[in-house]
Amino acid sequence: METVPGIDDIRAAHDRIRDRIHRTPVITCGTIDGLCGYRIFLKCENLQGVGAFKLRGATNAILSLSDEQAVSGVCTHSSGNHAQALARAARDRGIPAWIVMPTNSPRVKRLAVEGYGATIISCEPTLAARESTAAAVMEEHGATFVHPYNDPAVIAGQGTTAVELHEQVDDLDAVIAPIGGGGLMSGTCIAMRSLSPSTRLIGVEPLGADDAARSLSQGVLVPQESPNTICDGLRTSLGDLTWSILRDHLEAIITVEDQSVIEAMRLLWERAKIVVEPSGATPLAAVMSPDCPLPKGSRIGLVLTGGNVDLDQLPWS
Amino acid sequence: METVPGIDDIRAAHDRIRDRIHRTPVITCGTIDGLCGYRIFLKCENLQGVGAFKLRGATNAILSLSDEQAVSGVCTHSSGNHAQALARAARDRGIPAWIVMPTNSPRVKRLAVEGYGATIISCEPTLAARESTAAAVMEEHGATFVHPYNDPAVIAGQGTTAVELHEQVDDLDAVIAPIGGGGLMSGTCIAMRSLSPSTRLIGVEPLGADDAARSLSQGVLVPQESPNTICDGLRTSLGDLTWSILRDHLEAIITVEDQSVIEAMRLLWERAKIVVEPSGATPLAAVMSPDCPLPKGSRIGLVLTGGNVDLDQLPWS
């Protein structure tokens, strides 16, 4: 297993990527505070470049490559925000990127990746096909594989979100972030444990992809099979590295139903005036849930992870 | 005519309202820059309290009242963002507000005003009925009338948007803001002329409500009759005070068609990930227009004025 990154790695990542990412704003909304009974601070990674926090980790991974590694490019398999993030970060360093995408990926996502100048390699929509196709690309081009979450450099990059949140908001009682593969929450745990040890660390998952919650309750890594949720960014399983970090640091995971995610998403659009994708709205659904263990009045940072939504297919229309 | 406010009035307004408004973020978006050929800075007043810059002027007007005036409350006639802003600002000072709204106002707008604790007085949907009803409220309660734009305290409050933008972004070549009644653009002109005299000042209007453009070209105040535009915040005519300020300071007004406003609005939602109403998207439509007189590469601040949109009635669905 790879090494767990520390706060120094996250700080180094921040210095490395600072000029290539947005320091995203933290937004507050009196109406939302009134509805949930907390003081909520929305860390807007939906306003990050490529519309998701994924740009942080991908940029750190690519800027951490030696010149010799970099010249041969990078590859990954993903149909989601990591694909766009890696393509964009590769373009910014001026190196090639090969993105393995299943043939059933939405056209809009393929266009976005191509728009950043990456080469798409199509494959059958199975994990085996994705992995073997990526292996072939690495073999042929000598490209470095950048995993979407189970990678210390990626985790350190995602942890910079929490460093900024800590700088932007004093005295957070808790931070809540979504868990898909666990890269963001892992980086958040490492950063906050060092910067603000008393801040409580809580994850959120959709009920239809609650592998981290089940892993935590069983004490062993349980992979996600047949995820069933509108939260397309949260359908993946934890990796061994992210699991080891979450297991050691996370206090709890709140699970939320898709309907409450859609309501939280609409609330963010209507009242906070920001475009947030379903995965990104899960932390608000968590604090609206009766299962939220935090006392009313708590100061809570919510990481809104992304804003990549098809405006012609909104879940309430 | 009322006195034209100066930069000192705007600075005093900012000190007065600072703790009751959001210092809204400035967002940049590489995709939008690439599409229009400028370096664009989006001043996000859609993220302001009540979802619009109107909270600034209304709050300054209400905090400028003496205690004796304040106790008798305020009133206005409006079915738009000013109504919500005045209701909210009155609630924050703990004084009554009477909002005269035509009987055909959308239910969602009435609910928002009531949500802030104001009293709605319904009237026939004519200007005469609105004015006589407001006069009766003032007579009965001794309430102070707060005009949505033709008021020095309101203009000074709106000017605080430009003060922040100037603090947030260096070396702006131009600022572009929408013109409805002209309060925001008037405050912007006064602030920028003092803080950054070389920054060019450009307004934008929808073609179907271009009274300020026609006034500027004819050199006299031309009222808007029968406006026809999707930009519901920009259908009003200039007032004598705002006209006198715009006439003296404004370099040009770009007029834009509704279709280009809808495209700009969608671009902001899709790429900048923020919810902006049609009126608020007009500055982006202006810089996408072939009529924009600014040289490519210019650093341009765009004031995105509001984000109050019915999510069930989006113009592209």
Q: What is the pTM of this model?
A: 0.95
Identify whether the C-beta of residue A62 lies closer than 8 Å to the C-beta of residue A74: yes
What's the angle, vertex CA B313, arms to CA B114 and CA B24, rounded to 5?
60
Q: Output the CATH code of domain B7-52+152-304.
A: 3.40.50.1100
Average pLDDT over residues A297-314: 95
Shortest distance, CA B193 to any CA of chain A (angstroms): 28
Please give the pLDDT value at position B30.
93
- Provide the residue ranges of all domains of chain A, joining segments of one domain with +: 7-52+151-304, 55-145
- B30/A47 Cβ within 8 A: no
Closest-CA residue in chain B for A29? B49
User: Within 10 A of B121 (CB to CB), how many other CB atoms are there?
Assistant: 16
Q: How far is B5 from chain A (nearest CA, A)?
A: 31
Most A-contacting residue of B23, B91, B273 (CB-CB within 10 A), to test interface: B273
**CB-based contact A314 B316, cutoff 8 Å:** no
Residues in chain B closer than 8 A to A47 (CB atoms):
27, 272-274
pLDDT single digits (tens) A50-94: 999 999 999 999 999 999 999 999 999 987 899 999 999 999 999
Cβ contacts of B273 on chain A, cutoff 8 Å: 46-47, 51, 274-276, 307
Per residue in A258-287, pLDDT (tens digit) is 999 999 999 999 999 999 999 999 999 999
Q: Which of B22, B274, B316 sits opposite A275 (nearest CB)?
A: B274
Fold of A7-52+151-304: Rossmann fold (3.40.50)
Distance CA A47, CA A164 (A): 14
> What is the torsion angle, in degrees rounded to the nearest 10, for the CA atoms of residue B160, residue B295, residue B229 and residue B272?
-70
Task: Quote the CA–CA distance of A177 and B11 in Å, as a whole number.
Answer: 39
Q: What is the DSSP letter of B149?
A: S
| pLDDT tens-place string over residues B21-75 | 999 999 999 999 999 999 999 999 999 999 999 999 999 999 999 999 999 999 9
Nearest Cα residue in chain B from A49: B29
Q: Nearest chain B residue to A267 by CA: give it.
A: B311
From the candidate CATH numbers 2.30.30.90, 3.20.20.70, 3.50.50.60, 3.40.50.1100, the one assigned to the domain spanning A55-145: 3.40.50.1100
- The answer, yes or no, to whether residue B1 has pLDDT greater than 80, is no
Chain B: nearest CA to A14, how far in angstroms? Answer: 19
Q: Matching CATH topology for B7-52+152-304 and B55-145?
A: yes
CB contact under 8 A, A307 and B47: no
